[in-house]
């Protein structure tokens, strides 16, 4: 028996995207049927009555925000005065071409 991959078929998971979305307001009761999901990602806010598999406004709440990433980022300092640490700036240094000619 050969196994075949079907692209665009039924998704393997059955979790709703709303469970991890920053825009979702979820009120869960004790039973599975006791669940209210309100989406604040659209205007006006709407109630979602089904499990969502794809959403264009989806934003994962498990990932850090831009402000959180800035607060945990390392500040790189150089030992040499006047030199900056980190990645090369988009503008090319004057001695860039000279380094390539030496090879």
Q: Is the pLDDT of residue 50 over 80?
A: yes
Mean pLDDT (whole number) for 5-11: 68
pLDDT at 1: 61
pTM of the entire predicted model: 0.57
Q: What is the largest CA-CA distance in the chain?
A: 73
Q: How far apart are CA 45 and CA 39, in angstroms?
A: 6
pLDDT for residue 24 is more than 90: yes
Helix H or strand E segment including 69: helix 66-72
Average pLDDT, the chain: 80
pLDDT class of 57 with cuts at 50, 70, 90: very high
Q: Are 20 and 61 in contact (CB under 8 A)?
A: yes
């Amino acid at each position: 028996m050969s196994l075949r991959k079907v692209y665009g078929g039924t998704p393997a998971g059955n979790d709703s995207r709303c469970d991890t979305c920053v825009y979702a307001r979820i009120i869960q009761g004790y039973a599975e049927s006791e669940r209210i999901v309100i989406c604040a990602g659209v205007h006006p806010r709407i109630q979602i009555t089904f499990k969502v598999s794809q959403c264009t406004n989806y934003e994962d709440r498990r990932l850090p925000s831009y402000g959180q990433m800035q607060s945990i980022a390392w500040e790189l300092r150089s030992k040499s005065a006047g030199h900056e640490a980190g990645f090369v700036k988009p503008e090319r240094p004057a001695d860039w071409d000279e380094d390539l000619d030496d090879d």
